[in-house]
Chain A
Amino acid sequence: MAYALQQLINGVSLGMIYGLIAVGYTMVYGIIGMINFAHGDIFMIGAFASLIALLLLSAGGLMEGPAAILLVLVISVAITGLYGWAVERVAYRPLRGSFRLAPLISAIGISIVLQNFVQVAQGARPKPAEAVISGGIELMREGDFTVQLTYVQILIIALTLAVLAIFTVLVTRTRLGRAMRACEQDRRMASLLGIDTDRTISLTFVIGAALASVAGTMYLLRYGVIDFYIGFLAGVKAFTAAVLGGIGSLPGAVLGGLLIGLIETFWSAYFSVQYKDVAAFSILVITLIFLPTGLLGRQEVEKV
């Protein structure tokens, strides 16, 4: 019982991280119909930016503890957002309107570039980070096993919910949000009505990158070690989450993220750790085949 509860906590906090990345996928897909293959690597960039910022702050003795984390978040979001913007401008915008394969190959190219850029610039070895926040709340004890809700996990859950709340307000209440939704429905019409579609799309990418950056910071705090390859796996899983929840649906992305996090955690706890990635991939395949619009997605009727 305690073991299961611990897995539940772990799964939820992992799921939140996936959810944050998944929202980025779903936003971009919603607005330009493209799967941003490099989005997972943007998450990885966010993690690295956070690491460097963290080291910078603590080495300079400037700050330590939770206030530092806030500053790290801000720096990381700014830098990663810039990466998101740059990638869209360089690799995707010139191909908008081109046929399907070109942006996909371009995205794969960017993914390779980002991974290898970090590998060259920072070295290929895994980078450990000292625990900035440690300790947690003991929830339950069963024999030798203690169920713990760490402060980091509380932070992850609270921060993710806060960020998503801000984000939902952004999409539903602001002018930018309306512009995004208009572009999602009908880009040409939106532009005819005076919406600057290029800017809206750029901002969508930036926001997606910002969310992925927060996920990267959280990942760093939670797992304490990162390397240049975490983007690929996290990316596929987050994309699975987005699809599972229904691509184009923001609450769906979060829901999907939670489900994937829980499934992955419970699978490795009760079955086998080696095949946990296969579990995620298999869910992706099964979802797309049997439930192509996902759990909360819109039913699309083919117009002939």
Chain B
Amino acid sequence: MIAALREAAIAAAVAFGLFVLLVGLKTEPGSAGTLILRERFGDVALLCGLVFTGRLLMALWRARRAAVEPGAPTRLAALTGRLGPWLAPALLATALLLPWLPGIGRSELDLGILVLTYVMLGWGLNIVVGLAGLLDLGYVAFYAVGAYAYALLAENFGLSFWICLPLAGILAAFWGVLLGFPVLRLRGDYLAIVTLAFGEIIRVVLVNWTELTGGPNGISGIPRPSFFGLPFSMGGEEGSFAAVFGLEPSPSHRVIFLYYLILCLALLTNWVTLRLRRQPLGRAWEAMREDEIACRALGINLTATKLSAFALGAMFGGFAGAFFATRQAFISPESFTFIESAIILAIVVLGGLGSQLGVAIAAIVMIGGFELFREFDEWRMLIFGGVMVAIMVLRPRGLVGTRTPTIALGERRKISAALVQEGRG
């Protein structure tokens, strides 16, 4: 108990040092135009008190846990073990039926579309980071390429969404190869930083190359999607979606269509990934993640393997970008900042070990949670960052603690996280 109090006291003292100036004295514009300081020592005291109690509770809880036999499987683990096989089908069913569930209105569907977009982005990046072990911190670049490609193609050439979508994907894949080529020999953190730099370069170019991209104002008036040629117009005229299907025109038609569109795109990403995992290419990705040198000794061409991972991941990012453009009807470089890359990477790492289900759950939790905290406004990102740190410290391997082998002579048994390598480069 004494030890716990001491720990808490030290923590509170540190908190005091951290907060006394930066929280305690707020800089505000004064009357003369220069800054003045406003004291908020009450807040500092409150924060220190919170830190004290928090740390005390943590220390006490840890002491209690140590008394229990270590290594005994926790009840939580047992519960998730039993629920496991049911979770994926349940999520899929919910996703398929979402627009028809009671209580789901326009804003909930919008949230669903947002979450699914991030799920798809997470699945796309999962190929690069989760399976192939290539730390990509610039994934948003491919998202941007897809979005801008769609916008420019649709506006300048008048092509329909269904033609622009694969084109956007191909273009993004091309960029994936282009950006992947120089970084083939880089490892780990270095690869991460260079991909981050690439992402930022692309963003700066988007902001500044005004003739092509519209600069900071972006591109607006992107054609909205139609139901395979039938426009979703509100007038209900001849040839519109509502007229052909004999329905009352409603804005929710387009939203529901968009929802199923992103769902299909995401499921496509998932399906391709699951198929590839069972094939030599997917296995080579995972082997590369585990040990590159062993791969070379087995005759695997790492260049082709890495570039294919980049290209495929980029392609799905491009698809997601095209979807984003058509959904928003307006895009600007603001939507493609480094923070987006960081969020998507966090989703993948939080999901854990290249697991598709893990990534999906992580996206739902993080993006859904983020939206739910909307009222907190400026605190949102702060809490988000804090949650990222907390989750990494508590569960560094992510939510899903096991890897399932892709093939077995007998029964496929899950492999624990302790054995799986990741991102060794």
Contact = CB atoms under 8 A, between A and B. Distances in A.
A and B touch in the complex (CB under 8 A): yes
Given A55-B37, A59-B37, A120-B379, A95 B18 contact: no
Contacts of B425: 100
A83 B18 contact: yes
A27 B8 CA distance: 30
B23 A101 contact: no
Nearest to B198: A285
Given A100-B135, A112-B388, A292 B186 contact: yes
Given A130-B34, A285-B194, A52 B21 contact: yes
Interface string B325-367: 0000000000000110010011001000000000000000000
B17 interface: yes
B50 interface: no
B9 interface: no
B91 interface: no
B388 A109 contact: yes
A281 B385 contact: no
B84 interface: no
Interface string A24-44: 000000000011000000000
Given A45-B22, A52-B25, A109-B389, A275 B34 contact: no
Interface stretch (A121-129, A153-161, A255-263): A121-129
Given A55-B27, A104-B189, A105-B346, A121 B22 contact: yes
A122 B26 contact: yes
A278 B190 CA distance: 18
Contact of B26 (A101, A108, A121): A121
B193 A288 contact: yes
Contact of B188 (A100, A118, A281): A100
B278 interface: no
Nearest to A120: B378
Interface stretch (A86-94, A136-144, A199-207): A86-94
A52 B393 CA distance: 32
A35 B189 contact: yes
Binding site secondary structure of chain B: helix
A289 B193 CA distance: 12
Interface in B105-129: 129
A239 B388 contact: no
A79 B20 CA distance: 9
A99 B182 contact: no
B237 interface: no
A98 interface: yes
A52 B385 contact: no
Nearest to B422: A99
Please indicate which of the listed interface residues B182, B189, B193, B389 has the most CB atoms of chain A within 10 Å of its own CB. B389
B397 interface: yes
B182 A285 contact: yes
A86 B189 CA distance: 22
B382 A116 contact: yes
B423 A100 contact: yes
A277 interface: yes
B35 A55 contact: yes
Binding site secondary structure of chain A: helix
A4 interface: no
B307 interface: no
Contacts of B424: 99-100
Interface string B368-389: 0000000000110110111111
Please indicate which of the listed interface residues A55, A109, A232 has the most CB atoms of chain B within 10 Å of its own CB. A109
Nearest to B339: A112
A106 B394 CA distance: 11
A243 B135 CA distance: 18
Contact of B193 (A52, A113, A120, A284): A284
Given A55-B37, A95-B392, A108-B346, A79 B21 contact: yes
B27 A288 contact: no
B28 A123 contact: yes
A282 interface: yes
A116 B377 CA distance: 11
Given A100-B422, A278-B205, A108 B182 contact: no
Given A239-B193, A292-B185, A282 B201 contact: yes
A110 B389 contact: yes
Contact of A82 (B18, B200, B346, B389): B18
B183 interface: yes
Contacts of A91: 389, 392-393
Contacts of B212: none
A283 to B, nearest CB: 9
B221 interface: no
Contacts of A125: 29
A76 B387 CA distance: 28
A117 B188 contact: no
Nearest to A239: B193
Given A52-B27, A59-B36, 5 more contacts: A35-B192, A82-B14, A100-B423, A105-B346, A281-B198
Which 10 A-B pairs give the minimum distances between C-beta atoms? A112-B385, A109-B388, A113-B385, A102-B396, A116-B382, A109-B389, A281-B197, A100-B423, A106-B392, A98-B396
Interface of A: 34-35, 45, 48-49, 51-53, 55-56, 59, 75, 78-79, 82-83, 85-86, 90-91, 94-95, 98-106, 108-113, 115-125, 127-130, 232, 236, 239, 243, 274-275, 277-278, 281-282, 284-285, 288-289, 292, 304
Interface of B: 14, 17-18, 21-23, 25-29, 34-37, 129, 135, 182-183, 185-186, 188-190, 192-194, 196-198, 200-201, 204-205, 208, 293, 338-339, 342, 345-346, 349, 378-379, 381-382, 384-389, 392-393, 396-397, 421-425
12 contacts: A34-B189, A35-B193, A99-B422, A105-B388, A109-B346, A112-B382, A117-B22, A123-B28, A129-B35, A285-B194, A288-B186, A288-B194
